[in-house]
Amino acid sequence: MQYISTRGAAPVLDFEATMLTGLARDGGLYLPEHVPPMTQAEIAGLAGQSYEEQAYLVMRPFIGTAFGDDEFRGLIAKAYAGFGHPARAPIKQLAPNHFLLELFHGPTLAFKDFAMQLIGQLFQAALARSGARVTIVGATSGDTGSAAIEAFRGLDNVDVFILYPHGRVSDVQRRQMTTPGDANVHSLAIDGDFDTCQALVKDMFNDFAFRDSVQLAGVNSINWARVLAQVVYYFSAGVSLGAPHRPVSFTVPTGNFGDIFAGYIARQMGLPIEKLVVATNHNDILHRALSSGGYVTDGVKPSISPSMDIQVSSNFERALFDAYGREGGAVAQLMDELKQGGGFQISQGALEFLRDAFASGRASEEETSATISRIAEATGEVLCPHSAVGVHVAEAHLSATPMITLATAHPAKFPDAVEVATGTRPELPARMADLFEREERVTRLPNDLAAVQDVIRERRGA
């Protein structure tokens, strides 16, 4: 299995190299040259298997010879052993034909644990074999950072540096990043918003001298291995509700477009997904782009669903690549326009392709809060604000096909917004009850590439 860049000018890589590098050297994102299809019988055969076995069967064709079969099974088993639910991704019913896929039973209470716990295992296995040492640098709006730190803390051949926007993550999110005491974990609070952090990370990857000197590796949702790990729960949920014999639909609370893009891959592999709905908060660039064809940034407005406070939605580039007939040059030009002028116009043909693949909707702050209180009253299920954005948007897309909304985080990760909506403060699971007593460790830095690079050079182990 070979991987190619969305900008068409980076080396073609195998799975292991794609995973270890993250961003392609031409600034693009890696995608499989061909998406391997699953037959109807193979999809039907997933029903009734453990989540781990489903993960093995869905991901195996993508990894080539990077890991042996038994080794890969073992790494998957370790990745999900720490989850707080035996089903890993359980489904609850909210209303007639509307289901909630709970993806928050991992160690940091957000769906990002599904991918991050697995790539922690895959990195460790690959690096132990080669003896190489890498520096992981990631930008976070809150949940990626804690998931990455939890997955890589204490590992031998890895240092982790996480950039988060100072003052713009929840207290629980911040403490999950600043309280692990491991020497290889470094939390950096940056003066700016998420897009500032993401731009700093991209600039570090494009500084090849720096990139090579510290062996930079990226685990943001641009990393293909993360997208791949997320493909699995679309299958697990789909087959529980009747696929491949009947279609299902999904609504996905969306920021960087990684999670919903995994659904798009599941559909390409053969899972019959009727609607794939992008749900945004008031930072609705994706909803506006799909509605009007204009992808135009206009500044991030803080919201009660901060993990979706994003204007430059990185993985959308992967969808654009397909929408433009896999012409890397066309994608590179759009991304140039975005960087120079803050936006671009999607061509008519590409827009039709995207509208065929994705529906979309947005939830205002008031709608999000009202959804949390209404669903709690009607069903007893307490939604986090991101999941509530999804449920609100999904309700406009219900049909005879089962709708599955992804619940992306545990409500206790965002207790203030939930308390305002329901009157009750959601409690952290017992295993995290002492989070607010642990000591914090963090370095505050300006939005300055050289300053961040200096800290990384200085702190990383040799």
Q: Which of the residues are catalytic?
A: 112
Q: Does 100 bind ligand PLP (CB under 6 A)?
A: no
Chain position carrying tokens 């989540």: 51
Distance CA 162, CA 175 (A): 13
Alpha-carbon separation of residue 312 from 157, 330, 358 (angstroms): 31, 18, 18
How many other C-beta atoms can be found within 10 angstroms of the C-beta atom of residue 461?
Answer: 11
Minimum distance from CB of 386 to ligand PLP (Å)? 4
**Residue in 5, 18, 196, 221 binding ligand PLP, rule: CB under 6 A:** 221
Using CB under 6 A as the binding rule, the residues of this chain from 332 to 391 that contact ligand PLP are 386
Residue 49, token pair as written in the block: 């298997």
Minimum distance from CB of 329 to ligand PLP (Å)? 26
Using CB under 6 A as the binding rule, the residues of this chain from 393 to 432 that contact ligand PLP are 408-409
Q: Does 112 bind ligand PLP (CB under 6 A)?
A: yes
Strands 185-190 and 158-165: parallel
Alpha-carbon separation of residue 246 from 187, 270, 446 (angstroms): 46, 12, 52
Residues contacting residue 230 through CB under 8 Å, at least 6 positions apart? 111, 114, 115, 258, 259, 262
Q: Does 256 bind ligand PLP (CB under 6 A)?
A: yes
Distance CA 149, CA 332 (A): 32
Minimum distance from CB of 260 to ligand PLP (Å)? 6
Check residue 427 and report its DSSP letter: P
Among the listed ranges 6-14, 198-206, 250-258, 322-330, the one in contact with ligand PLP (CB under 6 A) is: 250-258
Nearer to ligand PLP, 51 or 111 (CB): 111
Minimum distance from CB of 400 to ligand PLP (Å)? 27
Distance CA 130, CA 289 (A): 43
Distance CA 462, CA 457 (A): 10
Nearer to ligand PLP, 76 or 304 (CB): 304
Minimum distance from CB of 308 to ligand PLP (Å)? 5
Nearer to ligand PLP, 184 or 230 (CB): 230
Q: Does 259 bind ligand PLP (CB under 6 A)?
A: yes
Alpha-carbon separation of residue 342 from 100, 128, 280, 296, 312 (angstroms): 35, 42, 19, 6, 9
Q: Does 220 bind ligand PLP (CB under 6 A)?
A: no
**Residue in 134, 160, 308, 350 binding ligand PLP, rule: CB under 6 A:** 308
- In contact, 228 and 221? CB cutoff 8 Å: no
Q: Does 253 bind ligand PLP (CB under 6 A)?
A: yes
**Residue in 20, 110, 320, 417 binding ligand PLP, rule: CB under 6 A:** 110
Using CB under 6 A as the binding rule, the residues of this chain from 140 to 159 that contact ligand PLP are 143
**Residue in 124, 307, 311, 405 binding ligand PLP, rule: CB under 6 A:** 307
User: Which amino acid would we find at residue 190?
Assistant: I
- In contact, 158 and 132? CB cutoff 8 Å: no
The residues facing 161 across adjacent strands are 137, 186
Among the listed ranges 89-97, 125-133, 247-255, 338-346, the one in contact with ligand PLP (CB under 6 A) is: 247-255
Interface ranges with ligand PLP (CB under 6 A): 110, 112, 143, 221, 253-259, 307-308, 386, 408-409
